[in-house]
Amino acid sequence: MNRIVQFLKSSFRLSSRNGTVRYMFPAIISFVAMMGAAVITSKDVSYVRLETSDTTVEAGNQFSIDVFAYAHVPVNAVDVTLQFDSEAVEVLGVDRGQSVLTIWTRDPVIENGKVILQGGTYRKGFLKEHRIATINVRAKETGQSTFEATNVMLLAGDGAGSPVSVADSNNSVVNLYIYDENTSPDSIGVNVNVNLITDIDGDGKVTLKDISSFMAAWHQKNKLYDFNGDGRMTFKDFSIILANFFF
């Protein structure tokens, strides 16, 4: 991985000396081509995805967060822990009306800044993406916050309860911005929806370290960094993280 970082750094120095970034892109494209045209898709890995009705919410308003699970092999038992800042948001309840889970080992637990969802299905298991639950939330404290799937266990419907490998995904985190009547939501929408997603290491900026992490995940297929929300990790996502790095 250090070789990747050194390659990118040397390419960037070359572009800086010439006063333009145009030389870096062909170099990186050639390097990616040497790695192969690998694409991580939702068919290759299982994961949990969160989707919110709104990432920019006024304090006092209610919104929802949908929890989906994608299974690349049949899964019949799910254990998901969601973590949130209880000072920033309040979880009002969990809607299970459209859940793929037909048996719940216990009612959803909401305590200490966590929501715990545990259940299964009568069938051998579900495949592809299905809704697990919808979390109903109320915004409280102004500022930036996250709602994240921090612990996920999927078990196969193979009669042995075999663990199913679950890939880390940037889509398992919802970045929220809560504002009040003195704040313009238009001024922060782009930062919440784009920059925080491509900032893989969470240091507040997109750097060569983030690009290196992206390249490693692309090559090893152990994580899914899907920046454009199409369920795949492709050259489009690579373009997005590069754009955030340069501009």
- Distance between first and last Cα of the chain: 24
Separation between Cα atoms, residue 26 and residue 58, nearest integer Å: 44
Residue 196: pLDDT band with limits 50, 70, 90: low
E strand or H helix at 194 = none
CB 115 within 8 A of CB 65: no
Summarised one tens digit per residue, pLDDT across range 226-244 is: 777 667 777 777 878 787 7
Domain ranges for the chain: 2-37+207-246, 47-187
CATH of domain 47-187: 2.60.40.680
Whose tokens are 């809704």? That residue is 131
CB 24 within 8 A of CB 33: no
Does the predicted model carry a pTM greater than 0.95? no
Which amino acid belongs to residue 243?
Answer: A
Summarised one tens digit per residue, pLDDT across range 115-158 is: 999 999 887 888 888 999 999 999 998 888 888 888 898 888 87
